[in-house]
């Protein structure tokens, strides 16, 4: 999310964040990460509740799906707020946590079974995501 990066590549720092722990930029970033994990879990719960869907339009009949959409949108706002005060590279590295939290949530909350093959695959993807994070951040500003 390059909203805070000027065309010259300079980061424009906004005014100080509002007082109070809730408006702390890191609190908001963490909230954003948790919310986007929650969004995925809610979508999963919602889409299994309604069988026989191919395109997910049917899923809109489920409250879980709407909860997921709400979590997604809220997460986006928290993310944008956090980005006003936190350097992009720090934010992006923290956001990689979602790739860990989602499988953890699947295992603990949804009771999915993650075998060794899948676990190894998840770790490899995570390693790849971190490998390309820095150059990709630069590219994303330009795209």
**Residues that bind other proteins in the complex, under the rule CB under 8 A:** 2-3, 40-41, 43-44, 46-48, 50-51, 53-57, 59, 65, 99, 102-103, 105-107, 110, 112, 114-115, 117-118, 120-129, 131-132, 135-136, 139-140, 142-143
Reduced to 3 states (helix: H, G, I; strand: E, B; else coil), residue 11 is strand
Backbone CA torsion sign across 47, 50, 55, 58: negative
Q: In angstroms, what is the minimal distance from the CB of 134 to other proteins? A: 9
Choose between 19 and 142: whose C-beta lies nearer to other proteins: 142
Going 115 to 119 to 120 to 121, the CA torsion angle's sign is: positive
Alpha carbons 114 and 42: distance in angstroms, whole number? 19
Give the closest residue to 46 by CA, choosing from 73, 70, 66, 75.
66
Q: Report the distance separating Cα 77 and Cα 100, nearest Å.
A: 22
Output 8 or 135, the one with its CB closest to other proteins.
Answer: 135
Rounded least distance, CB 19 to other proteins, Å: 28
CB of 25 to other proteins, least distance (A): 20
> Minimum distance from CB of 6 to other proteins (Å)?
11
20 vs 51, which CB is nearer to other proteins?
51
Q: Which is nearer to other proteins, 40 or 74 (CB)?
A: 40
Pairwise CA distance, residues 70 & 67, whole Å: 5
């Amino acid at each position: 999310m390059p909203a805070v990066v000027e065309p010259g590549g300079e980061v424009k720092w906004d005014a100080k964040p509002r007082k109070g722990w809730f408006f702390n930029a890191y609190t908001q970033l963490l909230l954003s990460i948790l919310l986007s994990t929650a969004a995925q879990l809610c979508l999963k719960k919602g889409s299994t509740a309604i069988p026989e869907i191919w395109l997910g339009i049917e899923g809109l009949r489920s409250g879980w799906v709407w909860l997921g959409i709400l979590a997604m949108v809220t997460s986006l706002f928290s993310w944008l707020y956090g980005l006003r005060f936190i350097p992009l590279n720090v934010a992006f590295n923290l956001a990689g946590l979602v790739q860990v939290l989602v499988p953890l949530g699947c295992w603990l909350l949804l009771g999915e079974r993650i075998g060794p093959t899948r676990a190894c695959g998840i770790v490899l993807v995570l390693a790849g995501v971190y490998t390309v994070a820095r150059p990709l951040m630069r590219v994303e500003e330009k795209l």
